[in-house]
Amino acid sequence: MSRYRAIVEYDGTEFLGFQLQAQGRTVQGELERAIADVTRSSVRVTGAGRTDAGVHATGQVVAFDVYWRHSVEDLQRALNAVLAEDVAVRKLEITRHDFHPRFDAAARSYEYVVVTADVRRPLLRRYAHLERRALSIEAMQSACEHLVGCQDFAAFGKPPQGDNTVRCVHSAIWRMGSRNRYVFEIVANAFLYRMVRNIVGTLLRVGRREISPEHVRELLDSRDRNAAGPPAPARGLCLTRVYYANDGLWQE
């Protein structure tokens, strides 16, 4: 029996989220089914981040224990052959027996894609949030200065367990891509439930000039979840990377 860790990419559109549920299609369920198909054993998969329904990943990290007599490359190929087309194992390796994708993670990064267009964009609809009007990227970037650092993010989400709502945001930046495409990248040690979508929802209000960049400081200080804007839609969000201590180069 060996412990494996994998980098997994998925299109979240047709999943009810990462985590196994009593009913409905989940990424964890799809991975467990594929591993069972290939190895003929019932396996539990643990992930680094419990992404919501509709949220994508290019760098989700998962781990599982399984007995496999062939090479790691063979296992990866076999899994990719039986996984549905909206999930793939991008990288696979044997890891230490006590590796835990969530508890051992030092940091995570997410990207959120916003496209501005005055009419719907069918080719972008699955992987971007559409804004009908131009956004002030300067105002949104200015608001980001308030997000960086270790502080109480209670205004932007609930903790997955316990009541500690302090998180350390290492960076939060907007870049402008081509064709009215804006990409928000945020790196933090960990995130509260829906924290990225709640932050983006508020930053979009800043970008639309509904609230000032400085108002984000007030929202943070209020620690009041009801004070912030509505969460941005899931479709724009992607878990891009999970970082591990002494392991910075693992992902590529």
| Catalytic residue annotation | 52
Q: x/- contact string, 126-155, with its own copies (CB under 8 A)?
A: xx----------------------------
- Using the structure block, give the residue that is written with the tokens 């590529």: 252
Q: Which stretch binds its own copies (CB under 8 A): 7-15, 46-54, 96-104, 198-206?
A: 7-15
Q: How far is the CB of 132 from its own copies (least distance, A)?
A: 11
Q: Which of 69, 122, 226, 246 binds its own copies (CB under 8 A)?
A: 122
The reply on whether position 88 binds its own copies by CB under 8 A is yes
| Alpha carbon separation from 54 to 18, 82, 176, 187, 235 (Å, rounded) | 9, 22, 23, 20, 5
Q: Measured from the CB atom, is 108 or 146 closer to its own copies?
A: 108
Is there a contact between 59 and 10 (Cβ–Cβ < 8 Å)? no
Q: Does 9 bind its own copies (CB under 8 A)?
A: yes
**Nearest distance from residue 107's CB to its own copies, in Å?**
22
How many H helices and E strands in the chain?
A: 5, 10
Looking at the Cβ atoms of 6 and 139, the one nearer to its own copies is: 6
- Rounded Cα distance between 153 and 166, Å, is 6
DSSP assignment of 66-110 equals: E---S-HHHHHHHHHHHS-TTEEEEEEEEE-TT--TTTTEEEEEE
Q: Does 87 bind its own copies (CB under 8 A)?
A: yes
141: left (phi over 0), alpha (psi -120 to 50) or beta: alpha
The stretch among 78-86, 150-158, 160-168, 219-227 that binds its own copies (CB under 8 A) is 78-86
Interaction of residue 86 with its own copies, rule CB under 8 A: yes
b/e burial code for range 62-72 (CB count within 10 A of at least 16 → b): bbbebebeeee
The single residue among 44, 100, 125, 133 that binds its own copies, judged by CB under 8 A, is 125
Q: Is 58 in the site for its own copies (CB under 8 A)?
A: yes
Instruction: Tell me which H or E stretch contains 144.
Output: helix 137-144
CA 189 – CA 102 distance, rounded (Å): 11
Contacting residue, 26, 28, 76, 165, with its own copies by CB under 8 A: 76
Q: Which residues bind its own copies (CB under 8 A)?
A: 9-11, 56, 58, 76, 80, 85-90, 119-123, 125-127, 238
